[in-house]
Structure 1
Amino acid sequence: MTRVHDHGGGVRSLRVPIPDNPLGHTLVYVVDTDRGPVLVDTGWDDPASWDALTAGLTACGTSVADLHGVVVTHHHPDHHGLCGRVREASGAWIAMHEADTAIVRRTRRTRPDRWFTYMTAKLTAAGAPADHVAPLGAVGPRTRLPGLSPALPDREIVPGELLPLPGRRLRAIWTPGHTPGHVCLHLEEEHPARLPGNGRLFSGDHLLPGITPHIGLYEDPEDATVTDPLGDYLDSLERIGRLAPAEVLPAHQHVFADAPARVRELLAHHEERLAGLHALLAEPLTPWQLAVRMEWNRPWERIPHGSRTIAVSEAEAHLRRLVKQGRAEPVPGSDPTAYRAV
Structure 2
Amino acid sequence: MKSRRRPYAEQRPQDLGGGVWSVPVPIPGSPLGYTLVYAVESPKGPVLVDAGWNHPDAWEALSGGLAALGLDVNAVRGVVVTHFHPDHAGLAGQVKEASGAWIAMHEDDAALVRLMTEYVATGHDDFHADMLRRAGADPGEARQAMGERPTPPAQPDRELRDGDLVDLPGRKLRAVHTPGHTPGHICLHLEDADRIFTGDHVLPDITPHVGIYPYDRDDVDPLSDFLDSLDRVSDLSSLNGPLDALPAHEWIFPDVAARAAEIRHHHEEKLERLRALLTRRPQPLTIWEVAAMMTWNRPWDDLPPTLRGMAAGEAAAHLRTLEARGAIRRVAGVDPVRFQALDS
Same fold (TM over 0.5): yes
Query: Which 5+ residue runs of structure 1 have no aligned equivalent?
Result: 140-144, 191-198
The residue aligned with 1:238 is 231
- Is 1:48 the counterpart of 2:57? The answer is yes
Whole-angstrom distance in 1 between the partners of 2:327 and 2:264:
18
Shift of 1:219: 5.2
- Is 1:215 the counterpart of 2:210? The answer is yes
The residue aligned with 1:6 is 15
Q: Residue type matched to 1:286 in 2?
A: T
Whole-angstrom distance in 1 between the partners of 2:26 and 2:62:
9
- Check conservation: 2:47, 2:77, Cα contact below 8 A: yes
Please show how residues 59-208 of structure 1 align to structure 2 within 5 Å.
59-135=68-144, 147-190=150-193, 199-208=194-203
Q: Residue type matched to 2:207 in 1?
A: T
- Check conservation: 1:179, 1:218, Cα contact below 8 A: no
Q: Residue type matched to 1:212 in 2?
A: T
Cα 1:20–1:207 change in 2 (3 A) is same
Q: Residue type matched to 1:179 in 2?
A: T
The residue aligned with 1:323 is 323
Q: Which structure has more RCO (C-alpha within 8 Å, separation ≥ 6)?
A: 2
Whole-angstrom distance in 1 between the partners of 2:215 and 2:303:
26
The residue aligned with 2:308 is 308
Partner-residue secondary structure (3-state), 2:285? coil
Shift of 1:42: 0.4
The residue aligned with 1:262 is 259
- Check conservation: 2:121, 2:149, Cα contact below 8 A: no
Shift of 1:335: 2.7
1:152-172 alpha-carbon deviations (Å, 9 max, x no partner): 000011211211100111011
Whole-angstrom distance in 2 between the partners of 1:71 and 1:36:
14
Whole-angstrom distance in 1 between the partners of 2:218 and 2:251:
36
The residue aligned with 1:341 is 341
Cα 1:147–1:66 change in 2 (3 A) is farther
Q: Report the TM-score when normalising by structure 1.
A: 0.91
Percent of pairs identical after alignment?
A: 51
Q: Residue type matched to 1:213 in 2?
A: P
Shift of 1:146: 6.7
- Check conservation: 2:144, 2:305, Cα contact below 8 A: no
The total of aligned residue pairs comes to 326
Whole-angstrom distance in 2 between the partners of 1:136 and 1:285:
20
Query: Which 5+ residue runs of structure 2 have no aligned equivalent?
Result: 1-8
Q: Report the TM-score when normalising by structure 2.
A: 0.91
Whole-angstrom distance in 2 between the partners of 1:116 and 1:56:
38
